[in-house]
A and B are shown apart, each in its own frame.
Chain A
Amino acid sequence: MARRLLVAALAVAMTLVPVAAADPLTWQHVPVPAQVRPQAGLNEAAATGPERAWAVGTDAVGRTAPGFPLLLRWNGTAWQRQSLPGAAWQGELLSVAATSASEAWAVGRDTAGGTRLLRLDASGWREDRAPRGVAVTKVVAGGGETWLIGSRDGAQALLRRDGRTWRDLPVPPGSVYGLHLLAADDVWAAGSSGAGATVSHWDGQAWQQTVVNGFPRSGVGTVLAVSPTEVWAGGSAGFIGGPVGRPIPPLLMRWNGTEWTRVAVPTDFGGITSLAPSASGGLGWVAVARSQKWGSPGGRPPLVPGPAFLAWDGFAFTPYDEPAVAGEGASSVLTLAPVPGAATVWSVGRAAGPEGTFAPRVLRFG
């Protein structure tokens, strides 16, 4: 009898499991809190676990007036607006990075062009002294390291947190847009130079740069190092001439330990703006902003929307469309933030709003 029950229970379970697995996972729209004033946009997010994530951007942006810095906190159930410390300032938060479950950095720029640096510790968020003379655009954390990307007097600058101060580091030729920090002596940088898209590696002493794509105006802005023999870099493939707004093909490059090769993606135009690891540490997701594909031959319009997200299973990409949001259009900015220890990924950015405006966009997979 007990055996019969067990078999029956197993049968039921086997019936249920495939049903659950067959339920296709999709990207879901997650609303921002009502305290976020139009018009608003998000620039970046960082998650420290299923119940904590941070997203930064700006809100109350006028047609001509600058907005105010926006900091959102995910509490496991909903996004909430987090008040900023100190005196009110106008501008926007550009980047956020978590160094641990309870520590994070955010950088922003005020309307005077000054860098604003925020730090989260056990006592909460507080404003920290920004490195003098540097216009910081991005903060990156990983491998026990925290780095800043910015410019000083128009020249590229990279700074590394060293104890209580920020120390300048050498920079590779050209521009750096994205970093993947594995350790103090193992850092990958995505960027561009006059020669094309570049990926550089820092061994603690010097940069070794490779032009991964020499097409004019190509560049990569996001890099993900899975292992010494598997590094990915994404961006756009550049252009020669053409009208303003002409679509540009995406560029995804892969390093196999010996050489960089271009990897085909299932969309024809758009820019790869973010790469995110899977729960196992391999490449998991590729975000493509302004993704477009050729429509059917002779059809109108000639270009149709393409997938905004590409899931990589180690062999092939599975395309995922951005979910439709009532009254809003597609995203023009997509930045991925994987949730450590989970198969969940956040995407934050900026979507087309009504009447030529823009709106914050938060999506979640898993």
Chain B
Amino acid sequence: MHGLRTFVACLVLSCTAVMSPAGAGTVAAAAPPRWSALPVPAAAPAVYVADLAARGPREAWATGSESGPDGPRPVLHRWDGATWSRDATFPGAGQPGRLGKVQFVGDETWVFHHRDGAGEILRRSADGWTVVPLPQTLWYYQDFTAVPGAAWVVGEDDSGLKVLHYDGSRWTAQRAPDGVLSLRGITARSATDAWAWADTAAGAAVLRWDGTTWRDAQVPLPPDSNVYTVLPEPSGRVTIGGSQYADGVNRTYLTTGNGRTWRTTYPPLDNASAEDMVRGPDGALWLPVRSDRAFQSRYARVDGSRTGFSYGPRRTHAIEVQPRALASAGSTLLSFGTVEIYGSKPNLMSERLGG
């Protein structure tokens, strides 16, 4: 009898261990990573954060602008894996202008630079910074992307929509499909696989460059929707984030394609802008969302049908913490944005998940 009792007790214990989602040893090992604050050299308010991109755990760049006596001035910060430092060695540093999107092209780092009303590309290699001038000045520069062998700048001039393409030696103007009124953004997986999101007379549309022509990618977007970002990945998966207006409210949607079919979901993101959505090191989609708490930022994690939220570190007297851009940096997730400490103007902040 005693032996039977002991056997049953052991069976119960072993069943408990097996059915538990994580064994006791695993729980300690799988303690969820936390957000921590990373010091950032202050800039002159008012500050604006444009982009954050990471090549790996020991190299990331954050761009934007600060206030100067004659308008905005460009701001560039570099992450070396341990600290953020300010880079003022690029052409145009200290002069009026602002920095935009950061792209990694092979071993080089390319940054879009608005300078004196014109656009140019700052190109950083092992030899230092050089400038890639644009073939013409546009009224405004909507977006920029670059991959080995190709770069695009989209915007408008007095003749309308412009798609400027750089093949590494010369610029050409590309033709968008008929009916495209404007391009909202552009991104590329390779020189022969680029994606753009557009406004057409029929609504939002996603375009694709196949190395020869821009075509409507025929993505079945939700009706009455906007596209905020397109996230093509090396695996072939493409995730489109946007907002749909229905029944008087906007709601965030994600449309995901696997190369054969497209599927749309509506994660409970409270109409958060999917513009800054990235694929995190854990394989889930991450995006900053409006925090419901002062003193802390808030992030959403979308993993298939599951959506979870996490808060950044508590910051004393910070009445607003606004992450503006995210980037995967090795096994960590970097965030760059602004923080407003009560009584002072917003300034730069950075946070890291894991690491």
Check A62–B344 contact: CB distance below 8 A.
no
The CA-CA distance from A67 to B292 in the complex, in Å, is 9
How far does the Cβ of A263 sit from chain B's closest Cβ, in whole Å?
A: 40
A residues 9-39 with Cβ under 8 Å of B?
37-39
- Residue from B293, B319, B320, B345 whose CB has the most chain A CB atoms within 10 Å: B319
Check A64–B320 contact: CB distance below 8 A.
yes
Supposing A63-B340, A357-B343 touch, asked if A38 and B317 sit within 8 A by C-beta, the answer is yes
Check B292–A355 contact: CB distance below 8 A.
no
Encoded as 1 (CB less than 8 Å from any A CB) or 0, chain B from 315 to 347 comes to 001011000000000000000000010111100
Residue of A nearest to B293 (CB): A65
Residue of A nearest to B344 (CB): A355
Q: How large is the interface on B (under 10, 10 to 19, 20 to 34, 35 or more residues)?
A: 10 to 19
The CA-CA distance from A353 to B344 in the complex, in Å, is 11
* Residues of A close to B246: CB separation below 8 A: none
> Once A and B bind, how many residue pairs between them come within 8 Å at the CB atom?
53
Chain B CB within 8 A of A179 CB: no
The CA-CA distance from A90 to B293 in the complex, in Å, is 9
Check B343–A90 contact: CB distance below 8 A.
no
Check A61–B319 contact: CB distance below 8 A.
yes
Check A60–B294 contact: CB distance below 8 A.
yes
A residues 58-116 with Cβ under 8 Å of B?
60-67, 90, 111
* Residues of B close to A111: CB separation below 8 A: 292
Residue of B nearest to A62 (CB): B294
Supposing A61-B319, A62-B320, A357-B319 touch, asked if A38 and B342 sit within 8 A by C-beta, the answer is yes
Check A61–B343 contact: CB distance below 8 A.
no
* Residues of B close to A39: CB separation below 8 A: 294, 319, 342
* Residues of A close to B291: CB separation below 8 A: 62, 64-65
Question: Quick one: which of B290, B294, B340 contacts A61, CB cutoff 8 A?
Answer: B294
Chain A CB within 8 A of B295 CB: yes
Chain B CB within 8 A of A327 CB: yes
Chain B CB within 8 A of A354 CB: yes
* Residues of B close to A353: CB separation below 8 A: 342-343
* Residues of B close to A354: CB separation below 8 A: 342-344
Which secondary structure characterizes the binding site on chain A? loop
Supposing A37-B317, A38-B319, A357-B319 touch, asked if A60 and B343 sit within 8 A by C-beta, the answer is no
Check B293–A355 contact: CB distance below 8 A.
no
Check A355–B343 contact: CB distance below 8 A.
yes
* Residues of B close to A355: CB separation below 8 A: 340, 342-345
How far does the Cβ of A360 sit from chain B's closest Cβ, in whole Å?
A: 12
Question: Quick one: which of B290, B294, B317, B342 contacts A67, CB cutoff 8 A?
Answer: B294
* Residues of A close to B319: CB separation below 8 A: 38-39, 61-63, 357
How far does the Cβ of B309 sit from chain A's closest Cβ, in whole Å?
A: 13
The CA-CA distance from A39 to B317 in the complex, in Å, is 8
Encoded as 1 (CB less than 8 Å from any A CB) or 0, chain B from 63 to 80 comes to 000000000000000000
The CA-CA distance from A355 to B295 in the complex, in Å, is 17
Residue of B nearest to A40 (CB): B342
* Residues of A close to B295: CB separation below 8 A: 37, 60, 62
B residues 264-317 with Cβ under 8 Å of A?
290-295, 317
The CA-CA distance from A67 to B320 in the complex, in Å, is 12
The CA-CA distance from A354 to B340 in the complex, in Å, is 12
A residues 337-366 with Cβ under 8 Å of B?
353-355, 357
- Residue from A62, A63, A67 whose CB has the most chain B CB atoms within 10 Å: A62
Encoded as 1 (CB less than 8 Å from any B CB) or 0, chain A from 107 to 134 comes to 0000100000000000000000000000
The CA-CA distance from A65 to B342 in the complex, in Å, is 14
Supposing A60-B294, A60-B295 touch, asked if A327 and B343 sit within 8 A by C-beta, the answer is yes
* Residues of A close to B340: CB separation below 8 A: 63, 355
How far does the Cβ of B10 sit from chain A's closest Cβ, in whole Å?
A: 40
The CA-CA distance from A204 to B294 in the complex, in Å, is 46
* A interface residue numbers (CB < 8 A to B): 37-39, 60-67, 90, 111, 327, 353-355, 357
Provide a sorted-by-A list of 27 A–B residue pairs whose CB atoms are within 8 angstroms: A37-B295, A38-B343, A39-B294, A39-B342, A60-B293, A62-B291, A62-B293, A62-B294, A62-B319, A64-B290, A64-B320, A65-B290, A65-B294, A65-B320, A66-B292, A90-B292, A90-B293, A111-B292, A327-B343, A353-B342, A354-B342, A354-B344, A355-B342, A355-B344, A355-B345, A357-B319, A357-B342
**What are the 5 A-B residue pairs with the smallest beta carbon separation, nearest first?**
A62-B294, A38-B342, A63-B320, A354-B343, A60-B294
Given contacts A62-B295, A64-B290, A65-B320, list 13 more A-B pairs with CB under 8 A: A37-B294, A37-B295, A38-B342, A62-B293, A62-B294, A62-B320, A63-B340, A65-B294, A67-B294, A111-B292, A353-B343, A355-B340, A355-B342
